[in-house]
Structure formats: C-alpha cells, structure tokens
C-alpha cells in the first residue's frame, strides 16, 4: 500500500477543487467561513464493509453510497452542501487502483453537487473497511427543516419514486425474479447510486412543516415524523409513486408492496406541508395527510388498513 501522504496528495487533494477552506489538505484542519444570516448543518454517516455495502462492492459504488446518504441527510434539513470531511479505514494491502477508483467515484459528487473535500484522515485496519463522511451544509439561520413541525391538516408528499432502493438490493443479491434485464439494471442502479434531492430540500425551506429523507423505509421514516410532531400520518398505498421497473416487479409479485413500503435506501424526501410546494429536482406526489393522533397508517389496495409485518401501524403507533 502506498504511503499515506502520497495517497492524500495524489488521490484526495484534487477533490478539494482548490477550495480555500481545505488548505490543500496540508494543514491541521479545515477552516470554513461563516456567512451572516446562515448556519451550518452537519451530519455524519459511516458505512462498514459487509454491513452497509456488499463485501465485494466496487470502490466507486462505495463512494456513491457514502455521498448519496450524507447529501440526502443535508437535503432533508433543507441545507445547501458546502463540503465534507472523510475518514477512510482501508483494509491492509488495499491497492492503489482501488483507492483511485474510490476517489474517482467521490469526484463525481464533488462536481455534481459543488461538494469539495475539506479534510479528513486515512488509516489502515486489520478488520473490514469502514468509511465515515461528515457533510457540512448551510441553511438560513433558524430555517432548517426538521421532523417535528407536521400539523393536522397538512398534506404528505414524497419526491421521486419509492421502493427502487430495496428492490434494487434484492436484484443485486439475485433475489428478484421475473424482471427484464433493463428493469433489474435500473433498480440495481438506484440502489447503488442514490439521487439525493438536494435542490428539492432547499426549495422546501419556508414551505414544508416537517421533512425527512427515506433511508429506513417510507413507513418507518414517516413514523419518525409522526413521533417527533405528535401527529398521525395516514397514507394510501395506491398513491405511492413507483418507477416503471418497480411497477413491473410489483405486478410479478404483489407481496413486494411491503418491501416497497418498508424496505429503505430510497434517499427520496418525505415531507408535510400546508402549502403546495415548488418542484425542485424531482416530481412531488401527494400520498396522504396528517391528522391528530399517533403513528402511521397505510390504506392498502383493497381500501383496508394494512398490517405490515416489519413494522406498520401497530408498531409505529407508539404504543
Ligand atoms: Mg436521514
């Protein structure tokens, strides 16, 4: 394995894209300027080989997942990305080609989201690889979106399409049959490379009453809004927007509806609002309403309340 300083200089320093806050990764820390009237939003997400990404996952896909999940958390707060720090623990003996591919994967996010690397640390480990990314964003002071502001009478929205991440993981594991190669590839791509809704999140500041990104699963994450806001969230399964590929999977196996509702890894936004929101980088679809009460209820395709095995109404009622 190449020398640590050599790795930083060769593969990571270019990811600062010359941002002054990073001092070219040659100083002890980054120094991020503050802007009057704004505050920083900071989030950290760590991923471990064999736990959060597949044992033999390609290095660029590890980078995609790391950036996607962290930017999605900034999006959920309505924050605009400023940059990130990274701690990387490479398995002993990791080759330069692997590190280069990982850095190339990161570079796509640096460019797409104007999200420069500002600092970090790189170490070797005798155990599985681990990567921890801290994303820093900014939002107008006091305006960050939270999970706690939903009120009875608000409408419940989601961005994009739901279920692709969980179905994509099934497809990547070879556990989703009866799909065309094109549909299977689409779902795998959505799992491996999330599309965090950064511009949608920013556009919801001042409009949405509560917001969360869907990482645990639509029903679980709406449950977090319900609990933090002290309200009940009621959604209809037939309103949930599906991709063409997810629709094909559901037609082949209707029991996948539960996976779509609870599976996670969507990295879309779910939010509540009294006003009609402006559309950002994804379509916004109404899936339900906020009422007094507690927990999440899902009306199924037959018009009856669904009982979800992996959670669902009873579990999320907070009883
Ligand atoms: Mg989140």
12/68 same-domain check: yes
Last residue of a domain, one of 116, 140, 164: 140
Distance 1 CA to ligand 1 centre (A): 34
159/296 same-domain check: yes
Q: Report how far residue 243's alpha carbon sits from residue 158's, in angstroms, rounded to the nearest whole number.
A: 13
Distance 306 CA to ligand 1 centre (A): 25
Confidence bin at 2 (pLDDT 50/70/90) = low
Does the pTM exceed 0.95? no
Distance 73 CA to ligand 1 centre (A): 5
Distance 43 CA to ligand 1 centre (A): 9
For residues 184-192, give the mean pLDDT. Answer: 95
Q: What CATH code is carried by the domain that includes residue 94?
A: 3.30.1330.10
Q: Report how far residue 197's alpha carbon sits from residue 191's, in angstroms, rounded to the nearest whole number.
A: 15
136/159 same-domain check: no
Is 147 a domain residue? no
Contact 72, 196 (CB under 8 A): yes
Distance 214 CA to ligand 1 centre (A): 7
pLDDT exceeding 70 applies to what percent of the chain? Answer: 96
Is 148 a domain residue? no
End-to-end CA distance of the chain: 53
| Window from 2-11, 109-118, 123-132 with minimum mean pLDDT | 2-11
Distance 202 CA to ligand 1 centre (A): 15
Is 43 a domain residue? yes
- pLDDT value of residue 183: 97
259/111 same-domain check: no
- pLDDT value of residue 310: 59
- pLDDT value of residue 196: 97
Distance 223 CA to ligand 1 centre (A): 13
Entry field: residues in the chain? 319
Distance 252 CA to ligand 1 centre (A): 31
Is 145 a domain residue? no
For residues 271-279, give the mean pLDDT. Answer: 93
- pLDDT value of residue 52: 87
Distance 9 CA to ligand 1 centre (A): 32
pLDDT digits (tens, 9 = 90+) for 127-150: 999 999 999 999 999 999 999 999
83/207 same-domain check: no
Q: What CATH code is carried by the domain that includes residue 160?
A: 3.90.650.10
- Secondary structure letter of residue 217 according to DSSP: -
Contact 79, 111 (CB under 8 A): no
129/188 same-domain check: no
309/281 same-domain check: yes
> Which domain covers residue 104, as residue numbers?
4-140
Last residue of a domain, one of 140, 165, 182: 140
232/298 same-domain check: yes
Is 21 a domain residue? yes
- Work out the mean pLDDT of the chain and round it to a whole number: 93
Into how many domains does the chain fold? 2
Is 146 a domain residue? no
188/268 same-domain check: yes
Last residue of a domain, one of 140, 171, 200: 140
Is 149 a domain residue? no
**Helix-strand-coil split of the chain, %, nearest 5:** 35, 25, 40
SS3 label, residue 256: helix
72/182 same-domain check: no
Distance 197 CA to ligand 1 centre (A): 12
pLDDT digits (tens, 9 = 90+) for 13-38: 999 999 999 999 999 999 999 999 99
Is 225 a domain residue? yes
pLDDT digits (tens, 9 = 90+) for 35-60: 999 999 999 999 999 988 888 899 99
For residues 155-165, give the mean pLDDT. Answer: 97
27/170 same-domain check: no
- pLDDT value of residue 308: 82
Listed residues: CB within 5 A of ion ligand 1: 73, 213, 215
171/310 same-domain check: yes
For residues 259-280, give the mean pLDDT. Answer: 93
| Window from 2-6, 37-41, 99-103, 179-183 with minimum mean pLDDT | 2-6
Distance 153 CA to ligand 1 centre (A): 24
């Amino acid at each position: 394995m190449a020398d640590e300083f050599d790795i930083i200089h060769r593969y990571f320093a270019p990811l600062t894209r010359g941002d002054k806050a990073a001092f070219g990764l040659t100083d002890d820390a980054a120094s991020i300027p503050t802007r009057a009237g704004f505050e920083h939003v900071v989030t950290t997400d760590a991923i471990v080989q064999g736990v959060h990404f597949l044992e033999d996952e390609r290095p660029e896909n590890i980078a995609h997942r790391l950036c996607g999940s962290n930017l999605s958390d900034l999006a959920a707060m309505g924050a605009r990305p400023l940059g990130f720090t990274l701690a990387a623990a490479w398995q002993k003996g990791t080759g330069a080609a692997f590190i280069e591919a990982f850095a190339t994967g990161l570079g796509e996010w640096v460019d797409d989201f104007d999200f420069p690397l500002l600092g970090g640390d790189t170490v070797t480990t005798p155990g599985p690889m681990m990567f921890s990314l801290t994303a820093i964003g900014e939002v107008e002071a006091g305006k960050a979106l939270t999970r706690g502001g939903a009120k009875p009478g608000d409408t419940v929205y989601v961005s994009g399409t739901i279920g692709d991440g969980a179905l994509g993981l099934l497809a990547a594991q070879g556990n989703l049959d009866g799909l065309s190669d094109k549909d299977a590839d689409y779902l795998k791509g959505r799992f491996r490379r999330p599309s965090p809704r950064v511009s949608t999140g920013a556009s919801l500041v001042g409009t949405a009453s509560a917001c969360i990104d869907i990482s645990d699963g639509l029903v679980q994450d709406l449950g977090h809004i319900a609990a933090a806001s002290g309200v009940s969230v009621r959604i209809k399964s037939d309103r949930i927007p599906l991709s063409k590929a997810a629709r094909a999977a559901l037609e082949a196996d209707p029991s996948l509806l539960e996976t779509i509702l609870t599976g996670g890894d969507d990295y879309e936004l779910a939010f509540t609002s009294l006003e009609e929101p402006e559309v950002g980088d994804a379509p916004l679809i109404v899936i339900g309403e906020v009422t007094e009460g507690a927990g999440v209820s899902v009306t199924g395709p037959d018009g009856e309340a669904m009982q979800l095995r992996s959670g669902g109404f009873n579990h999320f009622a907070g009883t």
